[in-house]
Structure 1
């Protein structure tokens, strides 16, 4: 009896604000059914405002409830198929999953046979229990940060939470919330030095004689400073008063599309795009260049010294940037552990000359400088300081024992005849 609880004690999503949370007919905590609470969304669609969410951002989900049924598994989804002009929900509305939580939703218990104690009731007499304030607490109601895919189109939509309880009657719970999907909040570009157009407000950043480096009034959250801002010594008439003082440098956030961890002395951190994962497969080993990449690759690249004037600011050459690329998509909610880097094969000692740095990901280690290497019957290359670039043999020929020969008669074919 303690486990099952009353209908008034079940779970309900309270944020983002669902349809009819505080509007009659009130959203109930019951599971969906073919009777009073039909699929989808209990057929509730009353609201006074939509919760704004950013495509590419995330929304925090909270719950109210006293009967957690041992937890369970949850999904979060979005649909653009909403009721129009007060009509009922269409049962064929398409809800697309954006995030799934298997187990532990919305709570985990030390003693699953007992629901959490009721500690409060909401304004509509729905029971509530202790809250964790995070997504990992025990014996409390958890909350979850749910990512909103950046490719979703702008406009009105519905965010849905569905829950399959772990213990007790096997049921499906569903609450839906009206949301407004928007682009990330980006400032307008700075417009100046654009005269003779009455439809556009104009100001100037300086005169022809001024040496200026503009300090943008609204630079946005992401960017880099490669030179210090410089103002005119004497601000001319019509100067853009919205430009901040040169000493008021913006503080940029780390670019979420880049993965960079600086090490060493403090200074300006320069981030660079992660390169494609190194392909260490080789025709000699029987692998294909099209084999799927399933592991993370890590490389360390030294950041060169950077000077700028005036005044000079130097990045120490000891600063390094660690770049991690993974074939998995990280939504920024649960960190993906790094894997051990895949070693690059070391070529055998070259016959003449120093061993060169691997020219690119397709190069294969070779033993003797200047020799023709058969990687297989159809692929060859010329060993150049420890590395060979695979090339296809010409039609009607094959590579055998360090020579290019005709497939039919075995006559030697000059290498110059088949090189591109």
Structure 2
């Protein structure tokens, strides 16, 4: 019995649900930044970044142009706020604010938020510019986020600011304890970008080195980051820094190919790159799985799977095809990565797994519902066959379905 999953196509036709981005101070390429020209607007600014897009989703190329004009001025010692907006907050997570004086080669942390960042509405967060922060123009102010639930991702928004006497300087008490020297503060934490660190599903990550200014959300489900290569907890106070060559200001493709990023397995339904199937404008990560299950009268798990070492996981789609894509443990072939041109097209892989072209990117590879197969290859519709399971005795006592 062969049939077309029309319901799936209807559900997938919904708009992609936004994730989160910093909106104040206004980041580079943000449509709400008064200095951003229309040709440089990033309409997917809420999406997580890839290793190739670090830092700042490649927007620092706008520095030195009218688009890169500083949006505000802070003074050393000033208390201020920043805010976040978007539509899918992944139950929060942990964030950091940092400053770069060398056009993104290094980022010095000025505050860490453990849990509750962002909130369901985005949220407004207070911080203080360190008293001894160097003054300078065209400083990069960065917001970074590792989400609590969903795909293991990394988000980054960057604004251009000035640090100097033009800001509203905070009155500093004469008996105020001297903070940790700016030069001794840690570098920004990076994870899930194909390097040293990964994060756990369902955990508000405690950064290995959060710095002296830390705010922990009440009720946060805290836990350490993990070492991608071994799955072991990252040691506290580890200052070896980032994930994909943070000292260089960009990531090399060789570093990615040698140590591919651990991502969710094919059982996870929510695609990477900011794609959420929606119905009635409400994001739902289980809609697609439920549609498959009900149509085929078979069950399909939509529970996100905890990150695993790269050798046992399917790499997430990226904006470029330069990332090495290792053969998954199940022997899946024909998986697509990177950009795609036929929006809404399906790709059936070996009849047992599939992915879709959504928001201009191929999604992660996902498993078909139990007891079903699809017709291999790319097509406008995903044709699915309900498989009659029977056990067949093979030679040497090996059983298979």
Into which bin does the TM-score normalised by the smaller protein fall? 0.3 to 0.5
Report which of the two has the higher share of helix. Answer: 2
- Per the normalisation by structure 1, the TM-score is 0.33
Q: Which protein shows a greater Rg?
A: 1
Q: Which has the higher contact order (CA 8 A, sep 6+)?
A: 2
